[in-house]
């Protein structure tokens, strides 16, 4: 079954706790937490304190996408705050393997992310160390951008490289009901959805998520 992971970057920041509860009740499978530091990416969003504050508002897996650099000094805080998966970027620093080892030692799922301009082959040295590969389909830092079409070939290449390993493939950025089927067909297991999940306000969340799930051809 395709996992739908709404990104709270697109939620109402003034009511984030209620938003996480509402999108969870509306049919989300995971909650995608876009952590941005204003250094690795232009925008600043939130840190471990926000994740800890949100934790009681949903029993769904918290999928922390760290668009930060450096990463290592913050990993334990995100794990303690309640993140179930911690994903760091290949591009975030020179010691990716050590960062992934540290996440593993924290007892949470290990994810690695690649930007649109980064070759999929860069994750080959760590494929035996991760549970998830996050393929960015927009340049990170902002929601509401358009899906980069070349991502589909990248997904197919990634699937070849992964082979039979039990690795989850996640796609993040510009995902909607109109491209969800093609993204899943190219090899994605998890769809991160920001604008398309939260558009129209709380009353629309269930219908938004149902439309995306239906578009993937998988019953809710």
- Residue of closest CB approach to Zn ion: 65
Pick 131 or 172: Cβ nearer Zn ion: 172
Cα→Cα distances 101→68, 90, 106, 173, 210, Å? 17, 14, 9, 27, 37
Characterise 187 by phi-psi region: left (phi > 0), alpha (psi -120 to 50), beta (else). left
Q: Is 63 a catalytic residue?
A: no
Given the residues 29, 34, 37, 131, select the one marked as catalytic. Answer: 34
Pick 7 or 71: Cβ nearer ligand DX5: 7
Member of 65, 102, 109, 213 binding Zn ion (CB under 5 A)? 65
- Residue of closest CB approach to ligand DX5: 194
Cα 75 to Cα 86: distance, rounded to the nearest angstrom: 8
Does 63 interact with Zn ion (rule: CB under 5 A)? no
Pick 56 or 144: Cβ nearer ligand DX5: 144
Cα 184 to Cα 202: distance, rounded to the nearest angstrom: 26
Within positions 82 to 141, which residues make up the interface with Zn ion, using CB under 5 A? none
Q: Is 131 a catalytic residue?
A: no
Three-state DSSP at 62 gives strand
Cα 104 to Cα 85: distance, rounded to the nearest angstrom: 10
> For binding to ligand DX5 (CB under 6 A), which residues are involved?
7, 9-10, 32, 34, 65, 67, 138, 140-145, 172-175, 192-196
212 CA to centre of own chain: 16
Cα 148 to Cα 173: distance, rounded to the nearest angstrom: 8
Least gap, CB of 76 to Zn ion (angstroms): 21
- Is the sign of the CA dihedral 96, 101, 106, 111 positive or negative? positive
Does 37 interact with Zn ion (rule: CB under 5 A)? no
Cα 63 to Cα 30: distance, rounded to the nearest angstrom: 7
Pick 187 or 194: Cβ nearer ligand DX5: 194
Pick 7 or 219: Cβ nearer Zn ion: 7
Cα 81 to Cα 91: distance, rounded to the nearest angstrom: 24
Characterise 30 by phi-psi region: left (phi > 0), alpha (psi -120 to 50), beta (else). beta
- In this chain, which stretch among 26-34, 146-154, 159-167, 183-191 interacts with Zn ion, using CB under 5 A? 26-34
DSSP classification of residue 142 = -
Member of 172, 197, 198, 216 binding Zn ion (CB under 5 A)? 172
Least gap, CB of 163 to ligand DX5 (angstroms): 27
Given the residues 29, 37, 131, 172, select the one marked as catalytic. Answer: 172
Least gap, CB of 164 to ligand DX5 (angstroms): 28
Active site residues: 34, 172
Query: Interface with Zn ion by CB under 5 A: which residues?
Result: 34, 65, 172
């Amino acid at each position: 079954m395709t996992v739908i992971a709404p990104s709270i970057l697109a939620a109402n920041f003034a009511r984030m706790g209620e938003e996480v509860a509402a999108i969870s009740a509306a049919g989300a499978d995971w909650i995608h937490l876009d952590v941005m530091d204003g250094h690795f990416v232009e925008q600043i969003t939130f840190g471990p304190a926000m994740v800890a504050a949100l934790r009681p508002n949903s029993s769904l897996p918290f999928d922390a996408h760290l668009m930060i650099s450096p990463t290592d000094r913050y990993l334990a805080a995100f794990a303690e705050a309640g993140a179930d998966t911690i994903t760091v970027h290949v591009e975030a620093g020179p010691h990716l393997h050590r960062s992934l080892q540290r996440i593993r030692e924290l007892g949470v799922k290990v994810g690695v992310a690649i930007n649109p301009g980064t070759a999929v082959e860069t994750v080959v040295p760590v494929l035996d160390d991760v549970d998830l590969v996050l393929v960015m389909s927009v340049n990170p830092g902002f929601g509401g951008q358009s899906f980069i079409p070349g991502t589909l070939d990248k997904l197919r290449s990634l699937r070849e490289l992964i082979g039979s390993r039990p690795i989850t493939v996640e796609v993040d950025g510009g995902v909607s009901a109109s491209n969800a089927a093609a993204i899943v067909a190219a090899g994605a297991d998890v769809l991160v959805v920001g604008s398309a999940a939260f558009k129209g306000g709380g009353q629309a969340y269930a219908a938004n998520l149902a439309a995306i799930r239906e578009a993937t051809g998988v019953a809710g």
